[in-house]
């Protein structure tokens, strides 16, 4: 732990915002190279001048090649290239394989349901890419996932459980955002994943939000933009395309678009000065992809259309006013936030394409003759403007794929399964994430730090995460452990408080973790113990909002996540090994 303290002193003196901009600017050309495309320019090339056997890897300038291939593609191949499907089992289903092999599906997504076996994930990606390469144009797949850091970690196994965005925001160093993305993406790149749906640049505006919460860098638009740019640059350096989300901003609502369409009652002037600011930073930095959110802004669009299905938000605002040139990718279309508005899944897909999305995601694989396929394929034949929308999107997809896959820094098309164990967890990432977590620990209420129990006295450790007990026992070896379930019920919360009270006479200090409303109840029930001379130390390990009313405690420390690295930082601060330097990245509202 002395190494951490020493590193902190050096880091806080040496690192500043200029250093991360040096890192980011060196990657701006790389992001520009990938995002650059000519999809909105009519090239009018003579297709007969190009060889009949032209494919994705042909030695032709990317803009020309994307144009020629898109003009030679059938309607089925064009529409397939816009679709991204996920798989639910441990391996891709025969249905998904059919979409890739027989239809030319453009993208797949690795969801977090069956990803503990990362070797199997890599083998599955290789098999799918080989099927894609067996087709006439040999167009590789975008393979995507959500590996944001913090509690959104779809690829599991031994991948790093990092402190997350709010922790980065509390530390205040953009270089931490850069390296967080770099190490996260190095781990998924070795598996063949080439597109990550991160960074999340939604602001922590609504403090009741549980869908965004600690996924946010904080409430400050400028800082979120700076951190987002740094994250995107770190991702590109690791060989993975970043995606800024959820446009135009999911932070001012506590509602979840998985369940119904959230309505955000903010006018355009408000979101322009607030939600749109981080996206403006990322657009200026040439971020290659932006995810559209299933979010309604009735003060801006009175018809209540979600931004993900809105020609205004995607075409007029994002493309024309903000000048964005990269890929627009929908959030999962299997969410009620879009289908309730559209009336059906097939109509939602149609509206998504007409609105200007380039890639349309479904977390489940559609049947080969589902209406979302047949109806939109027929629409391409019946409505020339609709087919033009599809062709434009596919040209953009193809050119950006070419810019990426023909770059020396792309994730491997066929990952080496023998390299996985040495790369996951990242051999350099662990040391960094410990240091980053320590930089983020924030004192909300400070008592007599450090806490050193009197001779012969124990401490009580009350929490749910094994890492909490492991890290604390390094400094508090004589402890009484009260282990709680992470999915704590109200009765269990009171039962835990009763257990603590029953052992309180044996200790000087009680350390209690808070991560949800029921764990708050456990902490609140300990307040009478202060009259018995007991010190109450609260470790807030998720949203700090939950602990704002616990300011009666002797000490309240914000760690922002249940990552093992965050517990290392909390234990180091509580025991006096590290001086806390974090700054709360949201306002205190009680």
pLDDT at position 589, please? Answer: 87
Mean pLDDT of the region 24-46:
82
DSSP labels, 510-563:
EEEEE-SHHHHHHHHTTGGGGGGT-EEEEEE-S-GGGGGGGTTSSEEEE--S--
**CB under 8 Å to 355, separation ≥6 — which residues?**
292, 308, 309, 310, 311, 313, 314, 315
Q: Give 204-225 pLDDT, tens digit per residue.
A: 999 988 889 999 999 999 999 9
> Has residue 46 been placed in a domain?
no
Q: Which two tokens stand for residue 123?
A: 């083998």
Burial of 113 (0-12, 13-18, 19+ CB in 10 A): middle
Residue 26, pLDDT above cutoff 70: no
The answer on 410 and 521 residing in a single domain is no
> Has residue 589 been placed in a domain?
no
**CB under 8 Å to 557, separation ≥6 — which residues?**
441, 442, 443, 444, 537, 538, 539, 540, 570, 573, 574, 580
Where are any strands of DSSP class E within 168-316? 195-196, 241-247, 289-292
Residue 290, pLDDT above cutoff 90: yes
Residue 7, pLDDT above cutoff 60: no
The answer on 526 and 559 residing in a single domain is yes
The answer on 544 and 417 residing in a single domain is no
Q: Is residue 304 left, alpha or beta, with left meaning phi > 0 and alpha meaning psi from -120 to 50?
A: left
> Has residue 48 been placed in a domain?
no
Q: Which two tokens stand for residue 374?
A: 């047949």
The average confidence (pLDDT) of the chain is: 93
The answer on 367 and 275 residing in a single domain is yes
The answer on 451 and 413 residing in a single domain is no
Q: Which two tokens stand for residue 486?
A: 């992470």
Going by pLDDT thresholds of 50, 70 and 90, the confidence category of residue 12 is very low
pLDDT at position 15, please? Answer: 39
Residue 2, pLDDT above cutoff 90: no
Residue 279, pLDDT above cutoff 90: yes
**CB under 8 Å to 505, separation ≥6 — which residues?**
532
Task: Please list the residues that pair with 328 across neighbouring strands.
Answer: 290
Give me the number of domains the chain comprises.
2
The answer on 542 and 467 residing in a single domain is yes
Domain around 191: 13-35+73-372+401-423
Going by pLDDT thresholds of 50, 70 and 90, the confidence category of residue 424 is very high
Where are any strands of DSSP class E within 394-534? 442-445, 458-463, 479-483, 507-514
Mean pLDDT of the region 120-144:
98
Sign of the Cα pseudo-torsion (531, 532, 533, 536, in order): negative
Sign of the Cα pseudo-torsion (405, 183, 419, 115, in order): negative
Short-list 506, 566, 514, CA closest to 544: 514
Residue 584, pLDDT above cutoff 50: yes
> Has residue 68 been placed in a domain?
no
Q: Give 165-202 pLDDT, tens digit per residue.
A: 999 999 999 999 999 999 999 999 999 999 999 999 99
DSSP labels, 75-140:
HHHHHHHTEEEE--SSS--HHHHHIIIII---EEEE-TTS-S-HHHHHHHHHHHHHHHHTSTT-PP
Residue 11, pLDDT above cutoff 60: no
> Has residue 264 been placed in a domain?
yes
Q: Give 324-348 pLDDT, tens digit per residue.
A: 999 999 999 998 778 889 999 999 9
Going by pLDDT thresholds of 50, 70 and 90, the confidence category of residue 590 is confident
Task: Please list the residues that pair with 361 across neighbouring strands.
Answer: 84
Q: Which two tokens stand for residue 172?
A: 């205040």
pLDDT at position 87, please? Answer: 85
The answer on 513 and 408 residing in a single domain is no
pLDDT at position 545, please? Answer: 97
pLDDT at position 453, please? Answer: 78
Q: What percentage of the chain has pLDDT greater than the value 70? A: 94
The answer on 413 and 470 residing in a single domain is no
pLDDT at position 122, please? Answer: 97
Residue 18, pLDDT above cutoff 60: no
- Three-class SS of residue 463? strand
Q: Could you tell me where the DSSP H helices lie in 266-363?
A: 268-273, 276-284, 311, 336-342, 345-355
Of residues 257 and 336, more confidently modeled: 336
Of residues 29 and 47, more confidently modeled: 47
The answer on 405 and 465 residing in a single domain is no
pLDDT at position 74, please? Answer: 98
Going by pLDDT thresholds of 50, 70 and 90, the confidence category of residue 131 is very high
The answer on 449 and 412 residing in a single domain is no
What is the Cβ-side half-sphere exposure of residue 407, based on CA atoms within 13 angstroms? 23
The answer on 210 and 323 residing in a single domain is yes
> Has residue 461 been placed in a domain?
yes
In angstroms, the Cα distances linking 373 to 69, 459, 580 are 21, 62, 55
Q: What is the CATH number of the domain that holds 321?
A: 3.20.20.300
Cβ atoms within 10 Å, residue 388 = 11
For residue 259, the 8-state DSSP code is T
- Three-class SS of residue 188? helix
pTM for this model (two decimals): 0.95
Going by pLDDT thresholds of 50, 70 and 90, the confidence category of residue 259 is low
pLDDT at position 55, please? Answer: 98
Residue 24, pLDDT above cutoff 80: no
Cβ distance 151 to 453 under 8 Å? Answer: no
pLDDT at position 17, please? Answer: 40
Query: What CA–CA distance (Å, rounded) separates 214 from 117?
Result: 27
In angstroms, the Cα distances linking 302 to 130, 243, 296, 299, 407 are 47, 28, 9, 6, 44
Burial of 298 (0-12, 13-18, 19+ CB in 10 A): middle
Mean pLDDT of the region 27-39:
86
Cβ distance 361 to 329 under 8 Å? Answer: yes
Q: What is the CATH number of the domain that holds 540?
A: 3.40.50.1700
* CA 45 to chain CA centroid, nearest Å: 40
Residue 44, pLDDT above cutoff 90: no
The answer on 493 and 413 residing in a single domain is no
Cβ atoms within 10 Å, residue 321 = 11
Going by pLDDT thresholds of 50, 70 and 90, the confidence category of residue 258 is low
Query: What CA–CA distance (Å, rounded) separates 522 from 537?
Result: 13
Question: Which of 246-250, 335-339, 513-517 shows the lowest mean pLDDT across its residues?
Answer: 335-339
Going by pLDDT thresholds of 50, 70 and 90, the confidence category of residue 28 is low
> Has residue 570 been placed in a domain?
yes
Q: Give 63-100 pLDDT, tens digit per residue.
A: 999 999 999 999 999 999 999 999 878 899 999 999 99
> Has residue 377 been placed in a domain?
no
């Amino acid at each position: 732990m002395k190494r951490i303290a020493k590193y902190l002193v050096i880091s806080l003196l040496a690192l500043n915002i200029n250093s991360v901009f040096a890192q980011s600017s060196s990657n701006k050309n790389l992001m520009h190279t990938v995002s650059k495309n000519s999809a909105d320019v009519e090239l009018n090339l003579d297709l007969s001048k190009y060889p009949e056997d032209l494919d994705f890897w042909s030695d032709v300038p990317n803009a020309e090649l994307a144009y020629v291939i898109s003009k030679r593609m059938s309607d089925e191949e064009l529409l397939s290239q816009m679709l991204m499907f996920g798989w639910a089992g441990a391996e891709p289903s025969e249905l998904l394989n059919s979409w890739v092999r027989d239809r030319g599906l453009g993208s797949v997504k690795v969801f977090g349901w069956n990803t503990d076996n990362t070797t199997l994930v890599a083998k599955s990606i290789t098999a799918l890419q080989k099927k894609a390469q067996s087709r006439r144009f040999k167009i590789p797949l975008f393979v995507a996932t959500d590996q944001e850091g913090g509690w959104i970690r779809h690829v599991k196994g031994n991948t790093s459980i990092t402190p997350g965005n709010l922790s980065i925001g509390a530390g205040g160093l953009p270089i931490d955002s850069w390296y967080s993305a770099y190490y996260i993406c190095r781990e998924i790149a070795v598996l063949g994943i080439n597109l990550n749906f991160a960074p999340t640049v939604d602001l922590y505006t609504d403090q009741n939000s549980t869908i965004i919460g600690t996924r946010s860098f904080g409430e400050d638009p400028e800082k979120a933009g700076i951190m987002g740019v740094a994250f995107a640059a770190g991702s590109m350096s690791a060989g993975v395309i970043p995606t800024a989300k959820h446009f135009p901003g999911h932070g001012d609502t506590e509602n979840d678009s998985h369940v119904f369409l959230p309505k955000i009652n903010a006018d355009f002037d408000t979101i322009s000065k607030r939600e749109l600011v981080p996206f403006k930073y990322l657009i200026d930095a040439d971020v290659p992809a932006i995810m559209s959110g299933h979010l309604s802004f009735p003060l801006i669009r009175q018809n209540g259309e979600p931004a993900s299905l809105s020609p205004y938000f995607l075409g007029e605002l994002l493309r024309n006013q903000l000048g964005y040139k990269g890929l627009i990718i929908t959030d999962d279309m299997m969410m009620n936030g879009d289908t309730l508005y559209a009336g059906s899944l097939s109509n939602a897909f149609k509206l998504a394409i007409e609105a200007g999305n380039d890639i349309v995601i479904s977390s489940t694989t559609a049947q080969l003759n589902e209406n979302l396929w047949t109806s939109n394929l027929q629409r391409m034949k019946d409505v020339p403007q609709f087919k033009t929308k599809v062709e434009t999107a596919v040209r953009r997809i193809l050119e950006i794929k070419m810019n990426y896959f023909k770059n020396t820094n792309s994730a491997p098309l066929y990952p080496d399964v023998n390299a996985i164990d040495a790369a996951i967890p990242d051999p350099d990432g662990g040391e960094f994430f410990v240091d980053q977590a320590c930089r983020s620990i924030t004192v909300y209420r400070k008592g007599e730090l450090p806490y050193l129990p009197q001779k012969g006295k124990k401490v009580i450790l009350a929490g749910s995460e094994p890492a909490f007990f492991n890290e604390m026992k390094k400094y508090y070896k004589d402890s009484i452990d009260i282990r709680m379930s992470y999915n704590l019920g109200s009765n269990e919360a009171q039962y835990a408080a009763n257990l603590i009270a029953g052992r309180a006479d044996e200790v000087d200090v009680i350390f209690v973790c808070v991560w949800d409303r029921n764990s708050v109840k456990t902490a609140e029930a300990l307040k009478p113990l202060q009259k018995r001379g007991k010190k109450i130390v609260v470790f807030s390990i998720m949203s700090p909002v939950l602990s704002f009313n616990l300011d009666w405690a002797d000490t309240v420390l914000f760690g922002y996540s249940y990552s093992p690295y965050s517990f290392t930082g909390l234990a180091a601060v509580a025991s006096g090994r590290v001086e806390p330097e974090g700054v709360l990245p949201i306002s205190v509202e009680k």
